[in-house]
Structure 1
Amino acid sequence: MSEPSDTIRSRHRNVGGSCSRCIKPFGNSWQPVSWPCDVIVIREADRADAEKERADKTADVLAHVEDDLNALLCNGPEERVWLEYKHERDKLRNALTMSESAVKEFLGEATALTAERDAEKERADKAEAALAEMRPLYAAAGDDAWQRCIERDAAEADATALRGALWMVHQAFRPGGHPDHIPWSIVDETLAAHEARITKRDTPAKQGDPDGR
């Protein structure tokens, strides 16, 4: 259910307020964001009040016409006067019936729009409540994923260092190699650093030192 932006803009300006939910400026035009909203409901209620006022005025006119006719009847009206009265009376009664129907229709539309707005508000409130409950879970999952990334990077660094040390050992003992020319100090330092990282990673972190440093 939607209406052109011109109609929504007209209703918005008629109530003389500012509604950021039903319309928004877009260039030189107005674009509807969502409806129904309070502005449209108020506008429909105003239209219903106007129709009710018109119906009341029509009923007053009809009562005056009947009073005038009664005065004429007391003075012996002619047939023409009676026919004119009947025509005016029927016309006014038809107008009154149409006005009453319009009032009921507009009031029904305003009530339906209000109910739809309340239902959407309730749905939005429930969604926000569910999101609030999920936020701590998202935060915990994010922290856990971050910790796993840290552990993965540390394991990759250990594996790289170990591969380098083993490659040096392999080069030293391969056929035709020259062990005397291999910098064994580098191999020893690499293996020692690798062992230290393994020991540090497997040691529980102290309180206040999440990285175990």
Structure 2
Amino acid sequence: MRALVLNCTLKASPEPSNTERLAGIVIQALRERKVEVTALRLVDLNIPPGVTTDTGDGDDWPQVHEQLLNSQILVVATPTWVGHPSSIAQRMLERMDAMLGETDAESRPVAYNRVAGVVVTGNEDGAHHVISEITGGLMDIGYTIPGQAWTYWNRGPGPGPSYSETEEGHEWSAKTGRAMAANLHTVARALATTPMGPPPA
């Protein structure tokens, strides 16, 4: 089984990413379940705006799309900015919109029988809103969202340190991240055993 983690931080490599650090707990828990995990930091790629799988020369999205189709589990990791997902996360969803028109050999939307979850960090509140926006978009595209397929960390009201600058709240976020990995893996296995068919005509 394969998982793809798309880190939607605004920080280009090699700058440390708080979002990447929390996503690492989910990655470790998935690997403990023998899941092969690939992680991409989307800001390091050239992903132009658009709603097609390939916008032409220099577009790196087709390689991301290929990995989406090769993965049974998707984890979207994003910081919170002014109460919303990052602009990179929004662009990811816009490019994934093309998957709505793609079907597999059995006439199912290509996102069917794949599961997805969300990791959110930020020193401001709004994590539940970010989770809702991301999972809502992914469900539209065809992904299955298991119960409690998310984890997050935030500082709470007012300014304060980022995830990597404090240990406050880490234990809860890590525990929730391990539960997220377990639920994603369980539902992915169930769909592999009993897959959804194509939508009724």
TM-score, length of structure 1 as denominator length: 0.22
Structure number with higher strand proportion: 2
Higher RCO (C-alpha 8 Å, min separation 6): 2
Determine which structure has more spread, i.e. the larger CA radius of gyration: 1
Structure number with higher helix proportion: 1
TM-score, length of structure 2 as denominator length: 0.23
